[in-house]
Chain A
Amino acid sequence: MTNHWNDIANSDCILIMGSNAAANHPISFKYVTKAQENGGKLISVDPRYTQTSSKSDIYAALRSGTDIAFLGGMIKYLLDHNLIQKKYVQHYTNATFLVNPAFKMPGENDGVFSGLKDFKYDKSTWSFQTDTDGIVKRDLSLQDPNCVYQLLKKQYSRYTPEVVSKITGTPPEKLLEIYKEYTATGAVGKAGTIMYAMGWTQHTVGVQNIRAMAIIQLLLGNMGVTGGGVNALRGESNVQGSTDHCLLFHILPGYLKTPKASQATLIDYNNKYTPSTKEANSLNWWKNYPKYSASLLRAHYAGSTSLEEAYSYLPKLDDGANYSWLSLFDQMHQGNFEGFFAWGQNPACSGASSNKTRAALAELEWMVNVNLFDNETGSFWKGPNVNPEKIKTEVFMLPCAASMEKEGSITNSGRWMQWRYKAVNPPGQARPDGEIITELYYRVKDLYEKEGGPLAEAITNLSWDYGPKGGDGRIRHLDTHMVAKEINGYFLKDTVVKGKTFKKGTLVPSFAYLQDDGSTSSGNWLYCNSYTEKGNMAARRNKKDRSGVGLYSEWSWCWPVNRRIIYNGASVDPDSGQPWDKKDPVILWNGAKWVGDVPDGVSPPGGGRKPFIMKPHGVASIFGPGRADGPFPEHYEPLECPVEKNPLSPQMTNPVIKRWDKEGSGTDVDARATCDPRFPFVCTTYRVSEHWQTGLMTRWCPWLAEMQPGLFIEMSKELAKLKGIKSGDLVTANSIRGQVEAVAIVTPRFKPFKIDGNTVHQVGIPWHFGWVTTKMREYVHGDKKPEVFTSGDSANLLTPFIGDANTMIPESKAFMVNVKKKGV
């Protein structure tokens, strides 16, 4: 979230799309409701009439996978009616930038952007015009035909309400009603916000769904302000923190890049990722990259290892190669891994195309599964239709501590890092994950010290100073405060920075003091300022709200540098520094300094101050050439869809997605069925309040299992009639990749769509279930048996093995199935 939960109350109009926050983030509705009580409006757009929809002022249904068409129509509407917040757009976005005249857009180029070759874009035409000094040319009047603003207008001129309605199935009058309500927040002082979740990310165009909304937010001047922003509702308590610490192939803690094979030295690496800018007044914050990379290397390897050595120890990716989730399981399926850690995760249920994931696990020599409860991953070798006697995989299931059984911090969706305390010991021999990691590290280190091995120093030189050490030089137990301090970072020698002297061994007060020469450590520069000489900021519990707008700046701590609303430099008039919204200001210039939230940069107003400090140009990107699939969002159909034609262009699907289903590649678990009469219904996965993710931490809890006891499939009355199904009937749902059994729930919450004159039915299925907690499976001696059984297996048995063009997040929200009464 660019903003945070409490801030939703400040909004004048809340769009919830790609999320059912009322069910899946129930407490968020405290603030949605507060906004409504203050006169704000709630708009819900969802294929299904959800709990969120029931609280909305306006509801519209759309067919899964058509969000860009819906939002593209909104961009057209607000440009046609000149509803942009003009000064904001002129000064704080790249709308004025002139683009290369050779750049072509889908409307004039067969549905794709210029440069497409072999399923990849050559982006050379996606560039800005520059003058002889290398400075981007601009047209402040927004009239030049090659300026971003005019290109945007041209791109979305094709998204008329009639065309959008043909694609989404939303009636044109409903589209216009929503467009009018939401775009009214373009007025100076008004703020609209978006709350989205996996309903936007789990698509082959996931990133572009969010880009489309970001463009709308920028045009309306809604970024950086109270009650505005682009707010991703995180589904896990620490998925924000685990992402910040980059348990992902392509990034290192603090969103630094994982080094590539072509970057032989730390200098090469820093040169590649440290942007420069010719723009006056642009802070270009990433210019500090070498300070953050050096400080990270120092947190991994202490002073006896040089920075270059430490860099050489880091594994390198091949340039252009992708090692993300789907690639990982595809490689595993091909038998290319020996070992696998599934640590605090249940991929046998959470990965797309579960039959593939489960088959992949059988190709491993060994697997380590660390978890609170038995689960479908650890026990895959005795799952449905699996003969254990044929499975070679050696499996270790290690019991770990639950959140109340250990001490440490987690980071919520609003970027608040909050400290948790230990209440009780874990049961039996279960241990905190951090201690298991430490024990395992020491044992691996022992082996390399004793026996040696390739690049053993990368392991043996690793620093692990997390508590008092014994005679053997090893910590006796893991002190998480020590880890938190290392993440914040230390001065490693007496240092003078910005005229201040810091003693060796003291904690760095904020990332502005980090150094590129190895004299500071910081495991994650974004968290530098979280644990300082003043103490553990995440543990703060002062609930005083001095801001008056719900920032609660002394409660816990948030990254970066406790800035509660990011991009807040855009919340004020560039000349006066006075807030657009006088009633709910985030920051303001009092004539001498900025007051309010921690501002983005400290320079005074009136000097051309640029608020988007992470961008080299200092402004936000309406034109986004960094994306793999286009600088503007364009509607493409999901990989599996019910229509034969895309009304906007001849290009059906995102042209640059990685396809596993092409002829001659992949297997039946990668298959695709589009416009296939065997699979006539659109299906989407969703969640219920009582369960969480694969259900691993809820199916074993008797109260929750009792409240939501099993897999169901929700469908309209019309479809149920067509298929002779009644509520409560046992039905089967099939995709080309798999099948589940579920109980039918027939409701008016789904309605058939009229898509380009045809009736299209959509069904929905929750994905929290799995075979381990069912009654029918065989329980042998030693198996845990739930107090309350659940029924059904993972909805991911149905989902396609295909990902977004930028992130490779699987398309679990739009695919095709058939549904029939069991036994018919």
Chain B
Amino acid sequence: MQVSRRSFLKISGGAVMASGIGLSLKPVKAHAEPLKIRYATETTTICPYCGVGCGIIVAARNGKIINTEGDPDHPINQGSLCSKGGSISQLSVNKNRLDKPLYRAPFSKEWKTVTWNWALDKIAANVKKSRDKSFTFKNSKGQTVNRTTSIASVGSAALDNEECFIYQKFLRSLGLVYIEHQARI
């Protein structure tokens, strides 16, 4: 079997692991040590931090990320990653991720867990109320403006392109003009 650069990295990665727990470094032994990413599904991704756009391979097993590593085939990072890119598994495997919609009522001191249905219905009703109250067909010069200046939005460079596109589409259909995001700061 020809060993590609990628599978070589997997093998040598296994060897390093093995030596880390005090085993012999003999190749045979290293092969016998089960690889961390055995039975894992691998997908490629691009780092969500800075704008370099490094490639990362994500290995998941049973719906959980078990390993991430720089993509050796990616022409920019060629397998390397920085401290942030090297730790992206902690974005997903993290007990502090928000996992339920939360609601804070006016003047309340705490969050309340709510359902998606309840939250989205209430937000939609708020949007309609604020928009309808403020919707301006004509400005003070009598020119058509068809806008609301009662609702604003910021975000986001953290969205995918497709999400950015539909988000601006949605906001502009409502008549928002105060639309800004990270690029301005």
Contacts and interface: CB of A to CB of B under 8 A. Distances in A.
A237 B139 contact: no
Contacts of A25: 50-52
Contacts of B108: 388
A264 B144 contact: yes
A413 B171 CA distance: 26
Contact of A350 (B104, B164, B171, B185): B185
Contacts of B157: 236-239, 241-243, 344-345
Contacts of B75: 6, 543, 545, 550, 552, 555
A267 interface: no
A278 interface: no
Contacts of A424: 58, 60, 63-65, 92
Contacts of B130: 338-339, 365-366
A561 interface: no
B66 to A, nearest CB: 10
Given A331-B178, A423-B58, A408 B156 contact: no
A428 B99 CA distance: 5
Given A236-B157, A396-B119, A249 B180 contact: yes
B143 A429 contact: no
B107 A389 contact: yes
A27 B52 contact: yes
A429 B152 contact: no
Nearest to B50: A25
Contacts of B99: 399, 427-430
Nearest to B112: A782
A700 B4 CA distance: 37
Q: Which of B58, B63, B132, B178 has the most CB of A within 10 A?
A: B178
B16 interface: no
Contacts of A519: none
Nearest to A321: B177
A261 B141 contact: yes
Contacts of B185: 202, 325, 350-352, 809-810, 812
Contacts of A398: 98, 101, 119
Given A249-B177, A440-B170, A701-B87, A238 B161 contact: yes
A359 B14 CA distance: 53
Given A237-B50, A429-B116, A809-B185, A447 B123 contact: no
B53 A444 contact: no
B127 A394 contact: no
A584 B35 CA distance: 42
A412 B77 CA distance: 13
Contacts of A258: 177
A399 B168 contact: no
B19 interface: no
Given A239-B157, A324-B184, A690-B84, A253 B165 contact: yes
Contacts of A243: 157, 183
Contact of A366 (B78, B95, B126): B126
Nearest to B114: A396
A323 B161 contact: no
Nearest to A232: B51
Interface string B22-66: 000000000000000000010111111111111100101001110
Contacts of B104: 381, 393-397
B12 interface: no
Interface in B134-185: 134-135, 137, 139, 141, 143-185
Report whether over half of chain B's contact residues are helix, strand or loop; otherwise say mixed.
mixed
Nearest to B68: A404
Interface residues of B, number: 118
A188 interface: no
Given A339-B126, A343-B159, A314 B98 contact: no
A524 B166 CA distance: 11
A523 interface: yes
Interface stretch (A156-164, A453-461, A661-669): A453-461
Contacts of A722: none
Nearest to A375: B98
Contacts of B95: 787
Interface string A1-38: 00001100000000000000000111110100000000
Q: Which of B48, B100, B158 has the most CB of A within 10 A?
A: B158
Contact of A6 (B76, B133, B143): B76
A242 B183 contact: yes
B10 interface: no
A247 B144 contact: no
B3 interface: no
A317 interface: yes
Interface string A231-270: 0011111111111111111001100001001101000000
Contacts of A238: 157-161, 164
Contacts of A438: 166
A397 B98 contact: yes
A787 B96 contact: yes
B88 A404 contact: yes
A26 to B, nearest CB: 4
B161 A339 contact: no
B120 interface: yes
A588 to B, nearest CB: 23
B137 A422 contact: no
Contact of B145 (A316, A411, A697): A316
A458 B178 contact: no
B2 interface: no
Contacts of A422: 43
A382 B109 contact: yes
Interface stretch (A116-124, A480-488, A646-654, A739-747): A480-488
A246 B168 contact: yes
B7 interface: no
Nearest to B174: A459
A337 interface: yes
Contacts of B107: 388-392
B150 A27 contact: no
B107 to A, nearest CB: 5
A423 B156 contact: no
B135 A484 contact: no
B19 to A, nearest CB: 22
Interface string B62-97: 011100000001011110111111011011101111
A300 to B, nearest CB: 6
A462 interface: yes
B164 A261 contact: no
A388 B110 CA distance: 9
Interface in B112-131: 113, 116, 119-131
Contacts of B20: none
Given A323-B177, A395-B103, A414-B53, A241 B167 contact: no
Contact of B46 (A237, A344, A425): A237
A314 B172 CA distance: 6
Contact of B51 (A235, A373, A459, A702): A235
B160 A341 contact: no
A816 B82 CA distance: 33
Contacts of A433: 156, 159-160, 163, 167
A180 interface: no
A455 B172 CA distance: 12
Contact of A689 (B84, B94, B109): B84
A408 B155 contact: no
Contacts of A496: none
Contacts of A233: 50-51
Interface in A172-211: 202
Contact of A420 (B98, B154, B160, B183): B160
B9 interface: no
A455 B83 contact: no
Given A247-B180, A689-B84, A786-B96, A412 B51 contact: yes
Given A317-B145, A434-B162, 4 more contacts: A235-B51, A241-B160, A338-B151, A781-B110
8 contacts: A235-B50, A317-B145, A403-B48, A404-B58, A414-B53, A424-B60, A433-B160, A434-B160
The 7 closest A-B pairs by CB, nearest first: A428-B99, A412-B53, A234-B51, A344-B156, A408-B160, A399-B98, A343-B155
